């Protein structure tokens, strides 16, 4: 696939314009409603799907299928990213009106990190064909690990990055609007919002390491890899506000994502010397796995039996307090711990 330089600049221009529009639309801190998130999600999905139509018109159905397969894989893996963000925001009790600011910079960082990983991955594949075996093995291991550990809870308090941040950066425990830094006692200190941003950017890097090899399994065209990633990532903020309160219902999501990673890992290993699988087959299998995992999750939780772990508060005796408000943290007679911290055992 020969891509002229102007096409790269055109895509980057569209991305920058959409980021500017998004930043302008959310310039004032406010709580983003489900309706607003749904509208923005529809806009981002339409943009991503529409770009695939442009690829179809410009380069043909095969490259369009590769783009759509990559877009679907990245969009699916992004749901897991959204779940982690929800836990981070809950752990730090970030007011909802400030969350979009963190996610905006998080998405910008994700675009930069993934662009760098894509460039490095493309260079490695061009120089060493055997690296595809490494990518495939990595995806198989990652997929199996995700399935095996799908029930484990994420604990932000155990993050090495967070411990290093607390030791290295003077900080305050209070939020000061949307500010990441404030001047206190004659010196600059970080607000909790900066700590949240650091963790969000860290998760961006971790998820990029997982997702970039996955998309190389369906296309090795740098232009398609980058655009599929970019258009999938641009809608992450809206997806978070749309799905964050429903994440507890996706009980089979990690199982589905693990199977997707194993599937594309097998495809990547086979296509080196054994069998080059049709793109439409890869796209269809990924779509079916994700659809079944989400559909089954919504079906088994249709009665509302599942209790969300996002924002749950625990009493000092280890029992959950589901009547606690989202901003309650400590009571004198009943110390509490947010999700992510293991409830103290009796």
Q: What pLDDT does residue 56 have? A: 95
Q: What pLDDT does residue 336 have? A: 33
Neighbours of 156 (CB within 10 A): 20
Structural contact between residues 243 and 41, judged by C-beta atoms closer than 8 angstroms:
no
Got the DSSP string for 223-264?
Answer: HHHHHHHHHHHHTHHHHHHHHGGGGGG-TTHHHHHHHHHHHH
The residues spanned by each domain of the chain are: 31-311
Q: What pLDDT does residue 332 have? A: 32
The stretches in the chain having pLDDT less than 70 are 25-30, 151-155, 157, 272, 274, 304-346
Cα–Cα distances in Å, from 151 out to 55, 158, 292? Answer: 39, 17, 19
Q: How many helices (H) and strands (E) does the chain have?
A: 11, 5
Whole-angstrom Cα distance, residue 319 to residue 298? Answer: 26
Which of 303, 340, 309 is CA-nearest to residue 244? 309
Q: What pLDDT does residue 46 have? A: 94
Whole-angstrom Cα distance, residue 212 to residue 223? Answer: 13
What tens digit of pLDDT does each residue of 218-273 get?
A: 888 999 999 999 999 888 888 888 887 777 788 888 888 889 889 888 888 887 67
Q: What pLDDT does residue 337 have? A: 33
Q: What pLDDT does residue 344 have? A: 36
pTM here is 0.76
């Amino acid at each position: 696939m020969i891509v002229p330089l102007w096409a790269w600049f055109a895509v980057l221009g569209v991305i920058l314009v959409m980021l500017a529009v998004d930043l302008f639309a959310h310039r004032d801190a406010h709580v983003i409603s489900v309706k607003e998130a749904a509208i923005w999600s529809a806009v981002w999905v339409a943009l991503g799907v529409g770009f695939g139509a442009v690829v179809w018109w410009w380069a043909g159905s095969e490259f369009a299928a590769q783009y759509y397969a990559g877009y679907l894989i990245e969009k699916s893996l992004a749901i897991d990213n959204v779940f982690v963000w929800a836990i981070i925001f809950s752990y730090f009790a970030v007011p909802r009106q400030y969350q979009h600011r963190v996610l905006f910079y998080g998405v910008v960082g994700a675009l930069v990190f993934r662009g760098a990983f894509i460039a490095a991955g493309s260079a490695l594949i061009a120089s060493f064909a055997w690296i595809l075996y490494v990518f495939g093995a990595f995806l198989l291991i990652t997929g199996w690990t995700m399935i095996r550990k799908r029930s484990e809870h994420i604990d932000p308090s155990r993050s090495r990055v967070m411990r290093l941040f607390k030791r290295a950066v003077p900080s305050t425990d209070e939020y000061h609007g949307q500010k990441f830094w404030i001047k206190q006692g004659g010196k600059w200190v970080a607000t909790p919002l900066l700590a949240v941003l650091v963790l969000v950017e860290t998760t961006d890097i971790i998820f990029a390491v997982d997702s970039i090899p996955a998309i190389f399994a369906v296309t090795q065209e740098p232009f398609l890899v980058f655009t599929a990633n970019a258009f999938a990532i641009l809608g992450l903020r809206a997806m978070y506000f749309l799905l964050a309160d429903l994440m507890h219902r996706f009980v089979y999501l990690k199982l589905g994502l693990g199977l997707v990673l194993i599937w594309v890992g097998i495809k990547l290993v086979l296509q080196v010397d054994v069998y080059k699988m049709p793109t439409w087959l890869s796209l269809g299998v990924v779509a079916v796995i994700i659809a079944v995992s989400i559909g089954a999750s919504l079906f088994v939780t249709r009665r509302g039996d599942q209790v969300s772990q996002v924002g749950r508060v625990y009493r000092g005796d280890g029992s959950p307090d589901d009547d606690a408000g989202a901003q309650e943290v400590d009571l004198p007679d009943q110390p509490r711990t947010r999700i992510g911290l293991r409830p103290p055992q009796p």
